[in-house]
Structure 1
Amino acid sequence: MDFAQLLFPDFSLILCGYLVCRFTPLDRKVWGPVEGLVYYFLFPVLLFQSVTKAPLDLAAASSLLGAGLLMALAGIAMAYALPFLPVIGRHVDRREHAGAAQVAFRFNSYIALALAERLAGAPGLVMIAILIGFCVPLYNVAAVWPMARHAQRGFLRELVRNPLIVATACGLVANLLGFSMPRWLEPGVTRIGAASLALGLLAAGAGMQFASLAAQKTLAVCLLTIRHLLTPLVAAGLVHAFKLDAAQASVLLAFSALPTASSAYVLAVRMGYNGPYVAGLVTLSTILGVFSLTFALGVLWAA
């Protein structure tokens, strides 16, 4: 499979947003309102549709779900531990870590959906929907908690006001209750989802400043190492521990090696953190995703 071809559309949109913002009249004054539209409306609609799109058969996927949740918890724990490590912790700014820690464990759900279908067809979509349905709320809670804590904001208040968490939780409940999107509504919702992907990536590019990464290079290296090397290794161990079949193993390994979520930038900005720094991490993660997916599916799966 050509992973570079799969990731190129996302990276090209981020680059396009960067160029448009820097070299045309469509500067930051234009992109601020776009970020708000994506965060409060477009992304929540896409998440709700993704989680409700395929029925969740929890009994059949219990092993995959268990492995996925343990992998998620491992990634979160590694990201949270960075400021407390004996040597690394001295080089990690606590506020920058609070805003950027999410990069180490969140994932690009758009690439996840496309890749799962290519790997395992329709069953792959069902499996990735289960992982998305249960892991996205966990990841979003884990992303919000350090930012709310460091900014001394009410954690529960931030959770109930976070549209990404609310949309995912509502989608999960609706799916388990047997809700399906009416046919007449699907085309409009699908177009909103496509718009959220394009505008979210363009907004990430528009807010990108590579110079911001230089100030916290240790943090950047650690977060991206967790996302693209350590998490796939954890997933490979869980594949053997849970004795997953070939289709489940391929989906979990792909899930472990995905680039980080493009919405990480939007969330950081909305919560008052260093958006350009997170946008730079998102861009680097998208590039590294080509190598981590190749490593996970070409090396770890074969092993």
Structure 2
Amino acid sequence: MNYAQLLFPDFSLILCGYLVCRYTALNRTVWEQVEALVYYFLFPVLLFQSIVKSPLDLRAASSLIGAGWTMGLVGIAMAYSLVHLPWLRTHINRQDHAASAQVAFRFNSFIGLALAERIAGPQGLLLIAVLIGVCVPLFNVAAVWPMARHAQRGFVRELVRNPLIIGTAAGLTANLLGFSIPVWLEPTVTRIGAASLALGLMAAGAGMQFGALARAKTLAVAVLSIRHFFLPLVALGLARGFGLTEVQTTVLLAFSALPTASSCYVLANRMGYDGSYVAGLVTLSTLLGVVSLPFALGVLRAL
């Protein structure tokens, strides 16, 4: 399978978002509202629908969940160990590290959901929705914790109010209780889900910035190497160690190689750190996804 060709439609939408935001009247102010619409309404509906529409066997998915959590914990450990490594700590500013370590382990859910169905069908979409649901709380805690002294609100409150967690928890509850979306409502919900993917990808492109990458290059290389090279290798080892099925392995590898979350720079800004530097890392990570996803799904998947 030509994964580069398969991924082209999604990354072309990211490029469209970047061009529209930079060269038309639909500037960053407009796209901030689009991001809010996707994040707080369209995306949670997609998560809910993805989980509810297919029967879920938690016992069968437990290995994938375990592998996803383990991979996340390894990524978090690698990210926060950078300032303690003798050959790196003298080249890394701790303030910058506190804000940008999250780039190494967080992921862009918009891109993940857009890719899952293309590479693994409806089952892939269901599995990555479950992974997103169980990993978002872990990753958000790990991202917020080192910056908590600058937060205006407690991180527990922010986690409980996270729309991705709410959508996933509602979907899991409804699935386990045997609830299904009424037939007359399915077309509306399906169209909302499709809109969330297209707008989410374009919003990721609209948020790209290149300005502040010139400084703190060592830190940038370190966190992006974890995100786009080491985590896919860890995922491959975990897929074998947990005995994942072919579809589960494909989903985990895709999950491991996703670009980082576009909200990383929002969180850094809100907590009083240098958001422009983190925005540069998010931008470069989005571009590196064009390489890391084919690497994980093509090269590593074939091993």
**For the structure 1 residues 39 and 117, does the alpha-carbon distance in structure 2 shift closer, same or farther, using more than 3 Å as the test?**
closer
**For the structure 1 residues 39 and 228, does the alpha-carbon distance in structure 2 shift closer, same or farther, using more than 3 Å as the test?**
same
Partner AA of 1:154 in structure 2: G
- Asked whether the equivalents of residues 14 and 283 of structure 1 are also in contact (C-alpha less than 8 Å), the reply is no
**For the structure 1 residues 131 and 29, does the alpha-carbon distance in structure 2 shift closer, same or farther, using more than 3 Å as the test?**
closer
1:174 aligns to 2:174 (yes or no): yes
Distance 2:5 2:215 in 1: 32
**For the structure 1 residues 149 and 55, does the alpha-carbon distance in structure 2 shift closer, same or farther, using more than 3 Å as the test?**
farther
Distance 1:107 1:84 in 2: 24
Please give the secondary structure, in 1, of the residue aligned with 2:34: helix
Q: Which residue of 1 aligns with 2:281?
A: 281
Distance 1:275 1:8 in 2: 29
Q: Which residue of 2 aligns with 1:243?
A: 243
Distance 1:282 1:245 in 2: 31
Please give the secondary structure, in 1, of the residue aligned with 2:183: coil
Q: Which residue of 2 aligns with 1:20?
A: 20
Q: Which residue of 1 aligns with 2:197?
A: 197
**For the structure 1 residues 13 and 77, does the alpha-carbon distance in structure 2 shift closer, same or farther, using more than 3 Å as the test?**
same
1:224 aligns to 2:224 (yes or no): yes
- Asked whether the equivalents of residues 201 and 262 of structure 1 are also in contact (C-alpha less than 8 Å), the reply is no
Q: Which residue of 2 aligns with 1:30?
A: 30
**For the structure 1 residues 165 and 142, does the alpha-carbon distance in structure 2 shift closer, same or farther, using more than 3 Å as the test?**
farther
Distance 2:239 2:92 in 1: 32
1:50 aligns to 2:50 (yes or no): yes
Q: Which residue of 1 aligns with 2:84?
A: 84
- Asked whether the equivalents of residues 210 and 283 of structure 2 are also in contact (C-alpha less than 8 Å), the reply is no
**Equivalences for residues 247-266 of structure 1 within 5 A:** 247-265=247-265
- Cα deviation code 1:217-274 (max 9, x no counterpart): 2222222111111111111221232233433333322322223334545555666655
Is 230-239 or 180-189 further displaced after alignment? 180-189
Q: Which residue of 2 aligns with 1:291?
A: 291
Partner AA of 1:54 in structure 2: S
Q: Which residue of 1 aligns with 2:163?
A: 163
The CA RMSD over aligned residues, in Å, is: 3.1
**For the structure 1 residues 38 and 239, does the alpha-carbon distance in structure 2 shift closer, same or farther, using more than 3 Å as the test?**
closer
Q: Which residue of 1 aligns with 2:128?
A: 128
Please give the secondary structure, in 2, of the residue aligned with 1:184: helix
TM-score of the aligned structures, taking structure 1 as reference length: 0.82
- Asked whether the equivalents of residues 209 and 283 of structure 2 are also in contact (C-alpha less than 8 Å), the reply is no
**For the structure 1 residues 124 and 209, does the alpha-carbon distance in structure 2 shift closer, same or farther, using more than 3 Å as the test?**
closer
1:214 deviation in Å? 1.8
Structure 2 residues without counterparts, runs of 5 or longer: none
- Asked whether the equivalents of residues 54 and 126 of structure 2 are also in contact (C-alpha less than 8 Å), the reply is yes
Please give the secondary structure, in 2, of the residue aligned with 1:54: coil
- Asked whether the equivalents of residues 204 and 279 of structure 1 are also in contact (C-alpha less than 8 Å), the reply is no
Percent identical residues: 74
Please give the secondary structure, in 2, of the residue aligned with 1:259: coil
**For the structure 1 residues 219 and 175, does the alpha-carbon distance in structure 2 shift closer, same or farther, using more than 3 Å as the test?**
farther
- Cα deviation code 1:99-137 (max 9, x no counterpart): 433332233344444544455444444433432332233
Distance 1:265 1:201 in 2: 17
Distance 2:272 2:188 in 1: 32
**For the structure 1 residues 298 and 197, does the alpha-carbon distance in structure 2 shift closer, same or farther, using more than 3 Å as the test?**
closer
Partner AA of 2:54 in structure 1: A
**For the structure 1 residues 275 and 53, does the alpha-carbon distance in structure 2 shift closer, same or farther, using more than 3 Å as the test?**
farther
TM-score of the aligned structures, taking structure 2 as reference length: 0.82
Distance 2:6 2:152 in 1: 40
Partner AA of 2:37 in structure 1: L
1:159 deviation in Å? 1.7
- Cα deviation code 1:132-159 (max 9, x no counterpart): 3322332333334334344364121222
Q: Which residue of 1 aligns with 2:107?
A: 107
Partner AA of 1:212 in structure 2: A
Distance 2:125 2:25 in 1: 41
Partner AA of 1:69 in structure 2: W
Distance 2:60 2:246 in 1: 14
